[in-house]
């Protein structure tokens, strides 16, 4: 895949803005689409802040930072972004029906040879692909947060994906400086078979009153050598997303993924984590992702 390719990123939230930044840093022209104008404005602000941090650390020049930002075109209307796309990366909310609707629209609006990727955390790539008339061109690209700093991703071909599409996805990842691993189209793929179960049990511990959030997280960072504890990690991912993934894995794979009632309680109260300023922990305005 050449650096002149046009990438359209759909959804400018926690993942979408990072994917757009990564793509622009790799030299791609990026259209970043979100139905929510505020989310789009916030996404651009976060990308700008992140680039300025890189400039301060001497990892990018001011000129490079401006060029990267200049390669990102923010849009609220998909029709304006899709017509020239070579690659689309969908990063909208984790809901199967929403993703199917987005893919049906993409099928109608993008060039017939465009590759359509989803950043779903756990959902079936084949089911999403069947919303289009080109399931051979649909693939999963499961990025990790924070995307511009992450060094790996899962590439998930479904049973309907062509080898050419998988190859194009692998080339894209390597061009972006990321080491890709191919995973099977099975609920949760590889990493999200493990992480949600771990996070869920941390919520059960918390809810049972066995330990405070600080103790749970500190023990996991010091004792297990994890970079971040499970509850802080859940706040970063978004508790709504964690719950959606657990509900899906519970339906598909059974009892071991039954969502913790204490996680549900926080989500029902609108406490989604860092993106809303409150989850397990409370965040001040400067910390909201
Ligand atoms: P988020 O809630 O931060 O952002 C989702 C964005 O999608 C919102 O800004 C919303 O306005 C936008 N959106 C909703 N419907 C849309 C539409 N029809 N068209 C355009 N934009 C639309 O969510 P997120 O955490 O960025 O998650 C996005 C996807 O990435 C999900 O599938 C999630 O499972 C997956 N994912 C998340 C993480 C994580 O750490 N948060 C990690 C890997 C994968």
10-residue mean pLDDT series, the chain (289 residues): 78 97 96 97 96 95 97 94 94 97 97 97 97 98 95 97 98 96 98 98 97 98 97 97 98 98 98 96 82
H helix or E strand, kind and range, residue 70: helix 62-70
The residues annotated as belonging to the active site are 121, 142, 154, 192
Q: By alpha-carbon position, which residue is closest to atom 44 of ligand 1? A: 121
* Ligand 1 site, residue 94, Cβ cutoff 6 A: yes
- Residue 148 Cβ contacting ligand 1 at under 6 Å: no
Residues in the chain: 289
The pLDDT, as a whole number, for residue 3 is 46
| Preceding peptide of 155 cis, ω within 30° | no
Q: Which residue has its alpha carbon closest to ligand 1 atom 15?
A: 92
> CA 177: distance to chain centroid?
17
Ligand 1: atom nearest CA of 98 is 18
Cα-Cα-Cα-Cα torsion 101, 123, 41, 60, nearest 10 degrees, comes to: -130
Among 42, 46, 91, 98, which residue has the most ligand 1 atoms within 8 Å of its CB, making it the best to mutate?
91
- Greatest alpha-carbon pair distance for the chain in Å reads 55
Q: Output the pLDDT for position 286.
A: 75
β-strand partners of 29: 6
The answer for residues whose C-beta is within 8 angstroms of residue 225's C-beta and 6 or more apart is: none
Instruction: Verify whether ligand 1 is closer than 6 Å to residue 243 (CB atom).
Output: no
Q: Is the CB of 68 under 6 A from ligand 1?
A: no
Q: Is 107 helix (H, G, I), strand (E, B) or coil?
A: helix
Residue 63's alpha-carbon distances to 54, 68, 70, in angstroms, are 12, 9, 10
pTM of the model: 0.95
Q: Is the beta carbon of 92 within 6 A of some atom in ligand 1?
A: yes
182: Cβ–Cβ under 8 A, 6 or more apart, which residues?
Answer: 154, 155, 156, 157, 166, 170
Distance 10 CA to ligand 1 centre (A): 8
Which of 109, 241, 288 for a ligand 1 pocket mutation test, highest count of atoms within 8 Å of Cβ?
A: 241
């Amino acid at each position: 895949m050449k650096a002149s390719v046009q990438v359209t990123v759909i959804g400018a939230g926690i993942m979408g803005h990072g994917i757009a930044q990564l793509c622009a840093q790799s030299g791609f022209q990026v259209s970043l689409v979100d139905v929510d104008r505020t989310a789009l404005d916030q996404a651009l602000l976060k990308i700008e802040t992140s680039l300025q941090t890189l400039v301060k650390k001497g990892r990018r020049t001011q000129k490079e930072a401006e060029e990267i930002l200049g390669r990102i075109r923010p849009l609220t209307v998909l029709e304006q972004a899709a017509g020239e796309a070579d690659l689309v990366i969908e990063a909208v909310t984790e809901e199967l029906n929403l993703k199917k609707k987005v893919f049906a629209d993409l099928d109608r609006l993008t060039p017939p040879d465009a590759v359509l990727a989803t950043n779903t955390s756990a959902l079936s790539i084949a089911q999403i692909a069947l919303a289009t008339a080109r399931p051979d061109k649909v693939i999963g690209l499961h990025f990790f947060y924070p995307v511009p700093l992450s060094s790996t991703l899962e590439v998930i071909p479904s049973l309907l994906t062509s080898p050419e599409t998988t190859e194009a996805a692998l080339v894209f990842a390597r061009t972006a400086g990321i080491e890709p691993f191919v995973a099977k189209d099975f609920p949760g793929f590889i990493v999200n078979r493990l992480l949600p179960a771990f996070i869920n049990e941390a919520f059960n511990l918390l809810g049972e009153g066995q330990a405070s959030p600080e103790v749970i997280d500190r023990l996991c960072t010091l004792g297990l050598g994890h970079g971040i504890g499970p509850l802080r990690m859940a706040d970063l991912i978004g508790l709504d997303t964690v719950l959606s993934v657990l509900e899906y894995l519970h339906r598909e794979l059974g009892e071991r993924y039954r969502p913790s009632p204490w996680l549900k309680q926080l989500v029902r109260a609108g406490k989604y984590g860092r993106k809303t300023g409150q989850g397990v922990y409370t965040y001040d305005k400067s910390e909201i992702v």
